C-alpha cells in the first residue's frame, strides 16, 4: 500500500531534550516536506526536499533540522525543543514540487513541557 509513515504518533518530552521524528515513503517520490498544524494558523511548511541531499527552508524553519540521505526517508530533528514547538506535525511527499498532489502521513502530536 502506498503510504507515508511517521513515527511516533504521539510524543511528550521536556524542554531541551533532542528528539527525532521519522518519516518514510514507499512511492519513490522525489519531493518531501514537513508541516506543522496549529489551531487558527493552518498548515505551515517547516522544511522541504526536492531530492536526495537537497533541502531548503520553508516558512517556519527556526528550531528544526532535516536531512535527506535516502530518497525514502526525511527525518525531522528538534535539537533543543521548546514549548512553542508543541504542535501537530505532518510529513508529506509527492512526485515533484510542481503541481503534484501531496500525500500526507497521519501526523505526530508533539508536546514539549
Partner 1 sequence: EDQVTQSPEALRLQEGESSSLNCSYTVSGLRGLFWYRQDPGKGPEFLFTLYSAGEEKEKERLKATLTKKESFLHITAPKPEDSATYLCAVQATGANNLFFGTGTRLTVIP
Q: Which residues bind partner 1 (CB under 8 A)?
A: 4, 31, 33, 35, 40-45, 48, 50, 56, 58-59, 90, 92, 97-99, 101-107
The C-alpha cell at 112 is: 514539549
Run of H or E including 11: strand 10-13
CB of 111 to partner 1, least distance (A): 16
> Which residue number, 17 or 57, has a Cβ lying nearer to partner 1?
57
CB of 110 to partner 1, least distance (A): 15
Q: What is the 3-state secondary structure (H, E, C) of the chain?
A: CCCEEEECCEEEECCCCCEEEEEEECCCCCEEEEEEEECCCEEEEEEEEEECCEEEECCCCCCCEECCCCCCECCEEECCCCHHHCEEEEEEEECCCCCCCCEECCCEEEEEC
CB of 67 to partner 1, least distance (A): 18
CB of 13 to partner 1, least distance (A): 21
> Which residue number, 75 or 107, has a Cβ lying nearer to partner 1?
107
> Which residue number, 80 or 100, has a Cβ lying nearer to partner 1?
100
> Which residue number, 32 or 112, has a Cβ lying nearer to partner 1?
32
Amino acid at each position: 500500500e502506498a503510504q507515508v509513515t511517521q513515527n511516533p504518533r504521539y510524543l511528550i518530552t521536556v524542554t531541551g531534550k533532542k528528539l527525532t521524528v521519522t518519516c518514510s515513503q514507499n512511492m519513490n517520490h522525489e519531493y518531501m516536506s514537513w508541516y506543522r498544524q496549529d489551531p487558527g494558523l493552518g498548515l505551515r511548511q517547516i522544511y522541504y526536499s526536492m531530492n536526495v541531499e537537497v533541502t531548503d527552508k520553508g516558512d517556519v524553519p527556526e528550531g528544526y533540522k532535516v536531512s535527506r540521505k535516502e530518497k525514502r526517508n526525511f527525518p525531522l530533528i528538534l535539537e533543543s525543543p521548546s514549548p512553542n514547538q508543541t504542535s501537530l506535525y505532518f510529513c508529506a511527499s509527492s512526485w515533484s514540487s510542481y503541481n503534484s498532489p501531496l500525500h500526507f502521513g497521519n501526523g505526530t502530536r508533539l508536546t514539549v513541557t
